[in-house]
Structure formats: structure tokens, C-alpha cells
A and B are shown apart, each in its own frame.
Chain A
Amino acid sequence: MLLTLLAATGLGLLRIRNLFAVVMLAGVYSLLSAGLFTVMDAVDVAFTEAAVGAGISTVLFLGAMALCGHHESRPGHTPLLPLFVVCLTGIALVYGTMDMPPFGGADNPVHHHVADHYIEESYHEIGIPNVVTSVLASYRGYDTMGETTVVFAAAVGVMILLIGARTRRERPGGEGGDG
């Protein structure tokens, strides 16, 4: 049911050329995926998807839309070559899944490497009921620190791009031209 709604929203996203409706549909898409994650018991992921996908990124898209107008122009080329490439990639991906263990199988390697230890021992070792939090912040603390640094670095990149563009426009022909 949710997957059908997701597919319908995705098709709608492709067909509509009014960018305001596209932004709203993208928010709907995120909310539906969050529902799907909840159904699959991945509540933490669903939470993040709802907050980031349906919340902040909708606002940022609206902000970007205020800069570039409400209508998407028609592409100047035929969609046949991209369609061919996408089909080829899809076939390659499906071929790749042939070797994978059956979906949801209890004996799959992913469930038996370190997951058993986390689920059985994390309450005694960390003392926290939410296994996701103890894996994220304690067992995998270095990874999360790297993630935080990546988020920070991405923001610095955006700042350099946007603030740099602004100062260049305010000083046309200034010495900071190509910086």
C-alpha cells in the first residue's frame, strides 16, 4: 500500500512541471518513506527521514525556488538515451542481487557478524535500552565523529560557495574576481 503510494508520488513528481507542486510532492514522498520505515521497525531512520526530508529540505527547496522561479522548462533532448542507460543499470543491479542471500532470512551473514553481540550485551556494557543509540555513539563513536565533521565540512563548502558568490556580485570587477 505504502509502496504503491510512493510509486504514484514518484510518477507525479516526474510529470508535474510546476516546481511548487514538485516541492510539496517531494515532502509527501519523504513522509511516505518515513511511514514505510516505521512499518519496517526502523523508527530512528523514519524519524530522521521525516525531520530532514519532509521538514528542512522542503524549506530549503522553497528558498531555492524563490531564487529560480516556479516553472521548470522542458528539456531540449529526447528521453530515449537516458531511458536506455537507466534500464541497463537496472538490469545490472537486478543481476547483482541474484547472488545475495534471501531477503529477510534469519541465517544471513548481516545478522551474525557483530549484531548478536550488540543485541545481547549492549544493555550490560552500555546500560542504555536503545541499541541504536549505543551502537551509534559508543561502539561506533569514531564513525559518528567523522559524520559530524563531514556535516560541518559540507556546511563550510556551501558557505564558501554562496558567500563568495554574494561578495563577487556586490563588487563587480573587484580584485576578488576569480577567487
Chain B
Amino acid sequence: MREEVIVRVGAKVLAPFIITFALYVHFHGDYSPGGGFQAGVILGAAFALLALVYGLDEVQRVLPPWFVQACAAMGVVIYAGVGVATMLLGHNYLGYNALAPDPSHAEHGQHYGILLVELGVLVTVFGVMVSVFYLFAGRGRKAQ
């Protein structure tokens, strides 16, 4: 698809909006449908679109395979790390009330906790989606 001008320009224009939308879906997940999982899929789809139009090598210069594979593991670490952090602060594992800056409004900690664990979900899902896409897209080429 390297010669199709409309597709190339269209993908280039759309990609930043898709990435912004993914972040919106994540950070607005408290108030509207969506959350880390959906945001991760949308973020992965943005890079899959770029890879389809501009070729795998161009995208892998920005997001090398080792990086997305590390992302897939880091997300789980973030999620579990939030649990460990709340334990160190003296609450239950994943007891988000520990994260509140002002102990008189403990439910504010729930906001931070949910955003952080959803960030973990986002990073894992993004890493997994892009890694699997790299594997599928890169496979036929390497075999020839």
C-alpha cells in the first residue's frame, strides 16, 4: 500500500486522533464507558493501522518488539505494584483508600487507585496486541 496517497495521508491524519481517543477512553473511564482494556486495544489498533500503511519496519523503528514485549509484562507489574503499595501504606492488598492524599476523604484514593490499575491493564493490553500483531505480520515476510 506504499503508493496509495489517500491511504497514506488518511492514516497519518487519523493516527494522532486515534491515540488521543485511546487516552480519553482510559482517563475518562470513570465517567463514561471504557477503561484500560478498551484504551489498550484502541492504542494498539492505531499502531497496527500505521504498520499496515507504512510497513512494519517504519513502525518498529518507533516501537521496537522488545519494547512492546516489555510493556506486556510491565502492565502486570504496575497492577500488582499498586496492590503492594497499598499494603505498604497499611491497608489491604489493592485497598485504594490508602492512596488518598487527605485521609478524611478516603474515597478519593479510589480514583487514583482505579486510574493506576487501569493504566496497568492499558499497558499490558497494548503490549500484547502490538506484539501479537508484529508476530503475525512479520512471520510471512521472514519465511520468504
Enumerate chain A interface residues (CB-CB to B < 8 A).
Answer: 43-44, 46-48, 51-52, 55-56, 59-60, 63-64, 66-67, 124-130, 132-134, 136-138, 141-142, 144-145, 147-149, 151-152, 154-156, 158-159, 162-163, 166, 169-170
Contacts and interface: CB of A to CB of B under 8 A. Distances in A.
**A interface: dominant SS:** helix
B135 A56 contact: no
Contacts of A44: 33-35, 38
A151 to B, nearest CB: 5
Interface residues of B, number: 51
Contact of A134 (B33, B34, B94, B110): B110
A64 B133 CA distance: 10
B30 A148 contact: no
Given A47-B34, A145-B94, A159 B143 contact: no
27 contacts: A48-B38, A48-B41, A51-B41, A51-B42, A55-B41, A67-B136, A67-B139, A127-B111, A128-B30, A128-B111, A128-B114, A132-B33, A133-B29, A133-B30, A133-B35, A134-B110, A134-B114, A141-B83, A145-B76, A148-B121, A151-B128, A152-B76, A155-B128, A155-B131, A155-B132, A169-B143, A170-B142
